[in-house]
Amino acid sequence: MANGRIRRALIRVVNDDNLDLYLLGTVALVFTVLGITGVSDVKTTSAAVVALLALLAFSQIRSRRLIEQIGAGARGTTLFSRDFPADLMTRRAEAFDILVVGVSMTRTVQTMRTDMTSILAAGGRVRVLVLDPTDPALMAAADNRIAVRHWSGTTAKRITATLDDLTSLRAVTGGRLEIRVSSVIPSAGLQCLDTASPRGLVCAQYYESVPDGESGPVFTLRPPDGTWYQHFVAEAERLWEAGTDWPFTAASSAQRAPRPVFADQFGPELDTAIDETPDLFITGVARNVIVNTAFGRLSSKLAAGDRVRFLLVDPDSPSIATAASRYHEPRTDDSVRERVLHTLRLLAELKNSTGGDLSVRLTEHPVAAGVIRTDVALFGEYFTYRTRGPAKFVLQSADSGYATFTEEAEKLWESAKPHEW
């Protein structure tokens, strides 16, 4: 056993990169002692010094060669590349657990189809995460940031094709093929292969903004890379966990449905929009509040030559009773009728004092939602049944519902009778 320990110690010493330094130091120490004690004569010591210098020279040559090799290796190795690794497809084919994360993954899924079939047949797992093609805002951002060189809508079409392809493959293979969609645009496309094994690999493609050609750079990480390898593996897993299974369940579909945004009051943006609109159109039941609070603003607009239209409920129509029944506080038909007549008197005063382009029409329809249409947005008020205050909302011209409320207001205007001043 002692011989074994000595043998292992000798092997370590012989293989040590600093063996030449150990020998140089030992020989120098020995001859120094011999020279001081007089055991070694001057001739022998001089020969030993020359030998030591020769050994030192060979040591320096060896060190320089090692430095040159390290420098050559460093110059030949770069983290980033414009191309994917040459062995990536081979590594994917040999993998047992794959997670790919990206925008549409159309090309990746197409090139992986045969490999995925084999992996799934062998009991392996394949996970694919792409963007949610049903989210219009997300698709617009992806078109602008990543697929800007294509026409609008391309990203959604590519993702839908990928999802259809994957869904079909899962139905045929019946293997562990998991599909999810994300509401977050990743910073890089990630291909993670067998990340829990020593042969793990992460290949990342940075999503360059408005690339001239292929987005880049591309870089790969392996378990020996330590912290950064784990960093990108963890990021891919977080994106996966935040995704939603495809196809959507009824619950997840309902969660993604667009929701209206209601408020109790409009902000100062309403006043600004009214001031800057040369063609103002207001509909409602009586509109006492807006005429009273914006009387001076309306007067200035009419004096400046702007056009203003009001559509109110006819005070002599049965719809007055419907309007009265909606209020959260008990109101009589007469009280609602008087509110409309009061607004008409104020509008008549505005027209007479300014001589401006003010038109008023009266409808027999029980208006369910009043609107204030400006050039920049439509400010709507839904008249709820017996609850305090109408639910207010704002729609931009590109918003869903804008055309509906605008067209309804114009049709009511066309069918209403002009008010006689």
What is the distance between the alpha carbons of residues 185 and 391, in angstroms, rounded to a whole number?
34
Q: What is the pTM of this model?
A: 0.57
Parallel, antiparallel, or unpaired for β 125-131 and 97-101?
parallel
| pLDDT reported for residue 329 | 79
For Cα atoms 375, 380, 385, give the angle at the middle one, nearest 5 degrees: 165
Q: Which residues of the chain have pLDDT under 50?
A: 1, 4, 8, 11, 13-15, 69-77, 147-150
| pLDDT reported for residue 4 | 47
- In three-state secondary structure terms, 395 is strand
What is the distance between the alpha carbons of residues 211 and 145, in angstroms, rounded to a whole number?
9
What domains can be seen in the chain, in order of their start residue?
Answer: 2-76 (no CATH), 88-256 (3.30.870.10), 269-418 (3.30.870.10)
| pLDDT reported for residue 66 | 52
Contact 389, 291 (CB under 8 A): no
Count Cα atoms within 13 angstroms, Cβ side, for 340.
Answer: 27
H, E, C per residue of 200-240:
CEEEEEECCCCCCCCCCCEEEECHHHCHHHHHHHHHHHHHH
| pLDDT reported for residue 300 | 96
**In this structure, how many other beta carbons lie within 10 angstroms of the beta carbon of residue 53?**
11
| pLDDT reported for residue 144 | 81
**The two three-digit tokens of residue 28, written as one number:** 């120098």
| 181, containing H or E segment | strand 176-182
What is the distance between the alpha carbons of residues 274 and 280, in angstroms, rounded to a whole number?
7
What is the distance between the alpha carbons of residues 360 and 416, in angstroms, rounded to a whole number?
9
Show contacts of 249-257: CB within 8 Å, 24+ apart: 256/132, 256/134, 256/135
| pLDDT reported for residue 73 | 44
Q: Mind listing the pLDDT tens digit for each residue in 330-359?
A: 789 999 999 999 999 999 999 999 999 999
Residue 404 amino acid letter: T
